[in-house]
Every structure is written in structure tokens, then in C-alpha cells.
Structure 1
Amino acid sequence: MPTGDTSIPIGLIRDVADALLKRPGAKVCEPSTQRPIVGLSTEYCSTIYVAGDRETLSWRVTEPVKGTHKSCEASFSVKDDDYPASQVWVVGYVHNHPCGAPPSPLDLSVWPTDAFKPYVAMAEVRLIPGNPAPAVHTKTAIEMASALVAERQDGSRIFLRYFPTGEIQQWIKKKSAWVTLDFCSPPEASSFARTLQCRQGALRLLRE
């Protein structure tokens, strides 16, 4: 730290993408349907955390965990060899989508949008609702986020970042900046919908 960003920096996401996308099945996708192949396509996920104190926080990442063709589960807690648990904060997750699809309803439900009504109210800040001790660098709180990485058939890569507020951002290389796509939430628990509920309708990724 600092990186010029209060959430998972693009440099870290790129480094993790390089590692995840080299794993077996991480880029396997059925060309005609653009859907993952059961038994071949594989999602991998890592936990992003910061460790240290207010003046010396550093970004860190766990070894990838292997999932299935459609999901994987990173750890909600980590053990760091350099710092005690009181100086370790989980601040996000990063995983791959073999077919470059946007975040799924399951992805967005990892961070509860509200501690008591997770499918009703959106958090007003990019921090875990009710988190008693957020990670702080000097005077700046580290914002919780998850990231998604994928590689298209043409070799270009997609980098997405999404927050407990439901805000979904895409990294645009030409602008060298994160661009907000929309604010979305998972469907209500009683709903049969399989897509995100977004303010502007269906979520659309940008092409460069």
C-alpha cells in the first residue's frame, strides 16, 4: 500500500488472473453455446486479504481453490504466517469464469447486501454490513469487493470488480480506469429467476 485505490487494485487482479487462467480447465468453454462443459471447465477462486497495521498494510492472496464448472468457494478466513488473526482482514475474492460470463446471482450473494435482509436492502457503503473492525490504511477504510477474470476466445481478457452495494465495474484498458456498468442484486430467495436484477435491465459487458 498505497496503490491509489481503496479496493482490490487492477495490478493484483491481473497477477491473480495470470495464475488462475493457467490452471487446467480454467478457459475451457463450449464454442457453440458459450457455456461451461461439465467435467472439463473449472472455476478457481482465491481469497484476497490485507495484513499488517494502519501504516504497513499489504495486499495478499491465498492459493487458489478448485471448484466445479460453475462455482467455487473461497475461504472466509485465512491464516497468515507473518501476522496474528487480529492483523488480518479478508477484503475480497477473485475467481474465473471459463466462458467470460458476467457475475452470477450466487457471486453477488457472497457479500450480504444487508445483514438481516440480504435480498431486500442494498448496503449504502462498500463495507460488510455490521463489520466491527474494517481494515484501515492510515485513515482510509479498505472497501470490500470481489473480482472476476476471464479470457475470451480471441485472447482478450475481462476484469470485473463488484461490491456489497451491488455496483459492478469493468476495467477498461484504453481509459486505464474502472467503469461502472450497473447496480445489481441477486433475485429474491423466493424467486426462480437465474439472472441478476439490475437497475438498467440485463447487465452488458463492454467491448474494447
Structure 2
Amino acid sequence: MNKTKNSIFLSAVKVFSSNGYEGATMDEIAISAGVAKGTLYYHFRSKEEIFKYIISEGMKLVQDEISAVSNNSDTALGRLKSVFKVQIMIVHRNKDFFKVIASQIWGKELRQFELRNKIESYINDMEGLIDDAIKSNQIKKGNSRLMAYSFIGSICSSSIYEISNSDGDMDNSVESMMEYILNGIGI
């Protein structure tokens, strides 16, 4: 991503996060990015195109970071734990981006369907990691698709908790959340 597109990306995320999709304007994105409106239109024809770009690039960055850490463990369970940790850290570092995702996940607009497809791709990756852990008897057998959705839902909920209630000790919070999600609350 070149310097101008990166500036537009970062600014668009902030504008969409602050104003929502409907309230965001090309003028505000251009001002926030420090570019002329003509420069913005040179790179993107519409607000919709900018939105699709930030979702596509943002999810690519997330998946690249997750892929990098998931390849660093020798065990399937180790990969799940690594992915969990990095996902929490990614959400913590990119709150505005995930606020945009959360605000646009439901709806009937094309951009919302495309966003759900990107998330579905991520869930497919998680399902693969869970299948590997099941096959290697590191986690109990079950519906890996449901587990992937539950895992992602738990990560998202835990991330919201962490953002709202962080005491500054991120490592301890991540370890506690991982313990609850991977081992349950016990009865």
C-alpha cells in the first residue's frame, strides 16, 4: 500500500468508526487524510469503494498476522492458543477498525454481504485449525464449524471486555480469557 493510500486507509477507518457508514463523507475522509478531494477520487470512485478497500485490506492484514503466528507452533493446540492471543492483541491495537466491522456486519447492502464473506473466510481458517486439533486428539471431538463460530464469538466478546475493562496487564488478561475459552468455566 503506497503512502497516500495508507493515509486514506487510516483516515477512512477513523471517519467510519466515528461517524458510521452513513455519516462518513468523502470530504471528511480527504481532510482527515490530508489529501485533496481530487486525490481521493483519483484512488477511489466512491465512499462504498473506500469502505470495501478498508475492509479488504484490514482483513488481509489481520489474516496475515494470524497466519504468521499460527505457523510458529508445533502443535495444533499451540496454534489455537497463538491465534487466540494474537487476535485479542489485534483487536486491542485496531479498535476503530473492529468498530467499523461491528457496525456493518448486519444488513442487506452489498458491502455488508461482502464483509460477512470476509469473516466467513476467517472462520473457515479457524475451522481448519480446530479440525487439526481434533485429529491430533488435543481437543475433544465435536462440530468443528460450531466450535469455530464459538471460538470467534468468544474472542470478540473477550476483546470487547478487554477494551472496556483493561487494567493495563494485557498478558494476564489474555491468559485468563484463554483459560476460560479453551477450558470452559467448569461445573
TM-score, structure 2 length as denominator? 0.31
Bigger radius of gyration among the two: 2
Give the structure with the higher percent helix. 2
Q: What TM-score, normalized to structure 1? A: 0.29
More strand by share: 1
